Amino acid sequence: MKLFFKLLLILFFNGSLVFSQNYFPPAKGLWEQKDPKEFRIETKKLNAAIEFAEENEYSGSRDLRIAILKSFAHEPYHKILGPTKKRGGPAGIILKKGYQIASWGDISRVDMTFSVTKSYLSTVAGLAVDQSLISPKEKVSTTLWDTSFDGNHNQQITWEHLLNQSSDWSGTLWGSHDWADRPPKEGSIDQWKNRALYTPGSRFEYNDVRVNLLAYSLLQVWRKPLPQILKEQIMDPIGASSTWRWFGYENSWTEIDGHYVQSVSGGGHSGGGVFINTLDHARFGLLFLNEGAWNGKQLISKSWIKKATSSSPAQVNYGYMWWLNKKGTTRYWEGVPENVFYAAGFGGNFIVIVPDKELVIVTRWLEPSQIGHFVKDVLDAL
One-letter amino acid of 240: A
Distance of CA 379 to the CA centre of its chain: 21
Tell whether domain 120-242+250-264 is in CATH 3.40.50.150: no
Spatial separation of the C-alpha atoms in residues 317 and 2, rounded to whole Å: 44
Q: For residue 32, give every residue at least 6 positions away whose Cβ sits within 8 Å of its Cβ, in sequence order, or none.
A: 23, 25, 99, 100
Quick check: 271 and 82 in contact, CB under 8 A? yes
Tell me the average confidence (pLDDT) per consecutive run of 10 residues in the chain, 382 residues long.
Answer: 42 39 90 97 98 98 98 96 98 98 98 98 98 98 95 98 98 97 94 95 98 98 98 98 98 97 98 98 98 98 98 98 96 97 98 98 98 98 96
pLDDT at res. 21: 61
Q: What's the pTM?
A: 0.94
The secondary structure of residue 228, as a DSSP letter, is H
Burial 289-318 (b: 16+ CB within 10 A, else e): bbbbbbeeeebbbeebbebbbeebebbebb
Segments making up each domain of the chain, as ranges: 2-18+30-110+272-380, 120-242+250-264
Distances (CA, A) of 62 to 3, 4, 83, 112: 55, 55, 15, 11
Give CA–CA dist 381/378, Å, rounded: 5
